[in-house]
Structure 1
């Protein structure tokens, strides 16, 4: 067994966001004052990265800040914009007035100074008939509606008026992180893996372009191919397709439509057999259709996406992707750890790709630092990683299973996906009688989505509880008036999104 003290060589196979985020993180941890571990990234020049995961959750800010990266440089180098949340459209039947169903999922939470939580107050005040839940209880919805940045002229790097994430060019991000990692002392080898040399459940070395690279720890960042960990263990995959049947995507990059400015939020619009994303960068828009490949062919999906975008779309690039939806049973086998797509994938509805990489790298660091690497250490890592993916699977199912759409077989079948997440199914019954609260999720594996996030989806999808608690209507109105007033003040303080971006890119 290797110990943390005897660990001298770490080989990361595969670049992309997974490889370079992991390299940057572990290098900063182990080699910040002097070199303790040799970290090598072997990256194939022949294998491109998927590069369509172009939005993040807000917690990725803390990774970039922790790596000592200049936020303005990061934004410039990756054609990035800011993200206050996700606007969901068309996930239910049209509203009674004929308008399209929509709701907003921000990163923020508001508290109530009253005896009851703000969600219960919103329900009991009868506000559902006059506004969306997000419009009543958060500030980010107002910023998004006016396309304002979550920043004022005085905002410092990585700090905002409300929590925010990024829209970011994934290919440029990988290049930027690669440059930063190399500058920090990570060894970069451009080569394609020819062979993986194993002994039992241990990797001894990898061969690339006739060169042999041995190591103490190997990190598999080879994407859906799982090139390393796949050599160590059979029957190590658990498929989530029954719960999440969208296993294919077509991604289009197009010029920004004439007259449109980059939006400070992601849009996720439900189509016939899945949903389309729209993510605005400084120089273009990234779009795509995540769909059920058992109900729609690749050509049909591309045609539907192009129709949705309109005939005047100047398409720069089109890519079809087969997605392996699920995760490994064991992410850490022997001396090999899978991070990123090699470990698992859940459709990008809530932009969690970079978050899961960040989470994996941090978890690996704490587990590698435990002295002798015993099976108990691996089991702990595997238990936690499985919990993270199962928790995220359930949160994504929540978006689908509450729909009342019945226009296609896909949407008619969507409510049944909840049967593959028993805990969620039980909770939905409970949440018809009470609000979703912290205690409902306490003790779960949730790493980024809390009870506040669940409420934005539940009440955005009109899954309201039947409450009969007594409230002071005058006090309640004062609380929501304060939220409105604060939202108005924030709108006067916030920079227009484009003005902020121009300021950064001058």
Structure 2
């Protein structure tokens, strides 16, 4: 067997992107034999944005694969569990009731004949319940205040799929500790210069030292300090389809004896939407908005009014968001990931998921002794595909709204024009159920036809179906669902009780 030379990999920037990538690549490449010397250069002067405090459920598998203790992770990050997102006010009130729907992580699978979604549709159940209430278990759990865990649930296991609410700053600190313990070199210094030859980075200057490397990973946030040196302006903006380009984030105390919710809340406001994410020690909130329509002061005032006078604000931060992604994530010997690679507004909590995807692709594309242009093209094609798929899924939330109380919402309905595939599918989905084959062949790794249905039918975009189903067959199907919900409630405990157990 040929001798393998140890290569050097330099990650510039810490935060979730830098430390997730370092932890993953170190575990993959160096667990049995050292293939890469991995160094993370992290500036003590440049803070992380740290407001994206919710995840999708697949991040659970990343943490598990890294060998992290789930309870230790939750304690270290003031974490709570997340079974989905409750959307409020994304449409006009109906029959005097505030519009809301829940998007859980579940895959609704039941029935040997007509699938559960179709059965729900053709039996007129929309007159008595929301779609998510009819086809998921999570909606029943959150009504009773239950999370996904039982008293004896194994790590990373629950009655339903779940993600997390975590303090992003504490997560980066926790992952840094685990990565350093596993052999990753940590350098605290600010990069002041990037030395380039052709399409390759030769070294970076940080403090009084120069750091050379075979590969460089750019985790410097929106600045893209390394990748911009190789190809300035290498960016595909999504602002035509997703115009929310600013955010104001507020950290506040939980009010009174509030028990942290096991779900995120996303409430539509006048020119965007507000998130509410409960940690064990506080609530993270924020307003994602179109900065071309309202000022930062107006946005902050609207968010504070939404939260109410009882809120004890701990911290308020204004952010500019660069919505879009790189045309080329990998140029020469440099790969951009995290915010340096792209950003989709945090409506579906995909920030850590995209870091996870990029790290996985690095794990397969960096195995060769020398990277070929074919490998770079493959990596770039896949990453662009992930972002494009996520863009159209986020557009889906906006374009189905019937709100007309502001210019923002009146314009939101036409954002679908910038996602032609989605526009054509919405016409098709007026006449048939959204199904697996509609999305087969896409780049989507998290949001499938199941997820699309939760949004489509939560936003009342129902197909016009003309089909009669035997009442006894329908009753049997939904009786099974009722029994499954009862069983889920029986084996789970209130979310607050689970969090109290973590303190023991």
Change (3 A) 1:127 1:5: same
CA contact (8 A) 2:6 2:34 kept: no
- Supply the distance in 2 between the matched residues of 1:81 and 1:17 (Cα, whole angstroms): 18
1:5 CA drift (Å): 4.5
Change (3 A) 1:49 1:115: same
CA contact (8 A) 1:4 1:369 kept: no
The question of 1:44 aligning with 2:48 is answered no
1:4 CA drift (Å): 12
The question of 1:112 aligning with 2:110 is answered yes
Q: What is the aligned partner in structure 2 of residue 81 from structure 1?
A: 80
Q: What is the aligned partner in structure 2 of residue 402 from structure 1?
A: 400
CA contact (8 A) 1:84 1:163 kept: yes
- Supply the distance in 1 between the matched residues of 2:402 and 2:268 (Cα, whole angstroms): 12
Deviations 1:160-217 (A, max 9, x none): 0000000000000000000000000000000000100000110000000121000000
1:267 CA drift (Å): 0.2
Output aligned runs, 1:91-106, within 5 Å. 91-96=90-95, 98-106=96-104
Q: What is the aligned partner in structure 1 of residue 69 from structure 2?
A: 70
CA contact (8 A) 1:4 1:368 kept: no
| TM-score calculated relative to the size of structure 1 | 0.98
Runs in 1 of length 4+ with deviation above 3 angstroms?
3-7
| TM-score calculated relative to the size of structure 2 | 0.99
- Name the Cα RMSD after superposition: 1.1
SS in 1 for 2:49: coil
Q: What is the aligned partner in structure 1 of residue 21 from structure 2?
A: 22
Q: Determine which of 408, 411, 424 is the counterpart of 2:409.
A: 411
Q: What is the aligned partner in structure 1 of residue 419 from structure 2?
A: 421
Q: What is the aligned partner in structure 2 of residue 473 from structure 1?
A: 471
SS in 2 for 1:377: helix
Q: What is the aligned partner in structure 2 of residue 441 from structure 1?
A: 439
Return 289-298 or 233-242, whichever deviates more. 233-242
- Supply the distance in 1 between the matched residues of 2:471 and 2:272 (Cα, whole angstroms): 41
Return 477-486 or 201-210, whichever deviates more. 477-486
- Supply the distance in 2 between the matched residues of 1:110 and 1:379 (Cα, whole angstroms): 36
Q: Number of residue pairs matched?
A: 503
Change (3 A) 1:301 1:357: same
CA contact (8 A) 1:206 1:214 kept: yes
1:468 CA drift (Å): 1.3
- Unaligned ranges ≥5, structure 2: none
- Supply the distance in 1 between the matched residues of 2:79 and 2:304 (Cα, whole angstroms): 24
SS in 1 for 2:75: helix
Deviations 1:43-81 (A, max 9, x none): 000000000010000000000000000001000000000
CA contact (8 A) 2:251 2:314 kept: yes
1:145 CA drift (Å): 1.4
Q: What is the aligned partner in structure 1 of residue 213 from structure 2?
A: 215
Deviations 1:314-339 (A, max 9, x none): 00000000000000000000000001
Deviations 1:356-392 (A, max 9, x none): 0000000111011134311000000000000000000
Q: Determine which of 194, 197, 200 is the counterpart of 2:195.
A: 197
SS in 1 for 2:148: strand
Q: What is the aligned partner in structure 1 of residue 130 from structure 2?
A: 132
- Supply the distance in 1 between the matched residues of 2:420 and 2:84 (Cα, whole angstroms): 28
CA contact (8 A) 1:4 1:371 kept: no
SS in 2 for 1:152: coil
- Supply the distance in 2 between the matched residues of 1:148 and 1:397 (Cα, whole angstroms): 31
